Amino acid sequence: MTTTTAAPLRLEGVSKHFGGVTAIQRFDLEVAPGEIVALVGDNGAGKSTLVKIISGLYQPSEGTIEINGEQVTFRDAADARAKGVEVVYQDLALVDLQPVYMNLFLGRELRRGPLRVLDRKEMARQTQQLVEDLDVRIPSARALLGDLSGGQRQGIAIARATHWASGLVLMDEPTAALGVAETAKVEEVILKLKSRGAAVLIVSHNLDQVFRIADRVTVLRRGTQVGTRPTAGTDKNEVIGMITGLSS
């Protein structure tokens, strides 16, 4: 690890305590450029907590985070975004009372002119383009987000993260609400990100999906990292055993 290109993400000894509860216990992981790592584990294992630590929403109780070889301390999500960390949150982080285009650009609104006023037209135009590229079928970029279906909402959250993605993309169960065709489309998008050289950390309960797209899989059980395997060197049974703690 001397002069090779720095990893988009490196976690070392990351722990998180909520009061007396330990949600994450000494977690280590490195994700290389163009690599897809799946994070799996049962409900409450700590997957979303880990995602939120990397995205700046939570601060780790212990341990270090490195982005592209640089140690970082994120005070909030804007800090992480500035370092090229894009996220699809499990709860999607959308605003129902705002139009679709504003949800895509929230926090980095496009502005124009010397007075730096919001460029709604351009945001709506780019959004239309984006959702068409991703095959997210929505009535219009100006539709109220609250009027969309669950799958459409998830599609918007994914479009938002992938549009700007260059370095690191975190996805917390991105296909949970999607149909078969939509899931395939999202997987295609994730593979495209990979070919662009982005690092992807994806949380999924769908092991078939994990084996379809991930290069490696790392397993959390009640906050403790049980192990990390290349998907080519393991199988579903072993991973299930690691998740549940029962050897099969």
Ligand X SMILES: Nc1ncnc2c1ncn2[C@@H]1O[C@H](COP(=O)(O)OP(=O)(O)OP(=O)(O)O)[C@@H](O)[C@H]1O
Nearer to Mg ion, 159 or 170 (CB): 170
Question: Distance (Å, rounded) from C-alpha 57 to C-alpha 63?
Answer: 16
245 binds other proteins (CB under 8 A): no
Give least dist CB 117 to other proteins, A. 4
228 binds Mg ion (CB under 5 A): no
90 binds ligand X (CB under 6 A): yes
70 binds other proteins (CB under 8 A): no
- Does the CA dihedral 17-18-21-27 come out positive or negative? negative
Contacting ligand X within 36-75 (CB under 6 A): 41, 43-49
206 binds Mg ion (CB under 5 A): no
One character per residue 7-26, x = contact with ligand X (rule: CB under 6 A)? -----------x--x-x---
Count the alpha carbons within 13 Å of 208 in the hemisphere toward its beta carbon: 4
Cα distances (Å, whole numbers) of residue 36 to 25, 140, 216, 231: 22, 32, 7, 10
Strands (E) located in the chain? 9-18, 21-31, 36-40, 62-67, 70-72, 85-88, 111-112, 117-118, 168-172, 199-203, 216-221, 224-230
Q: Which residues contact ligand X (rule: CB under 6 A)?
A: 18, 21, 23, 41, 43-49, 90
Q: Which residues contact other proteins (rule: CB under 8 A)?
A: 55, 57, 76-81, 87, 89, 91-98, 102, 106-109, 111, 115-118, 132, 137-140, 143-144, 146-150
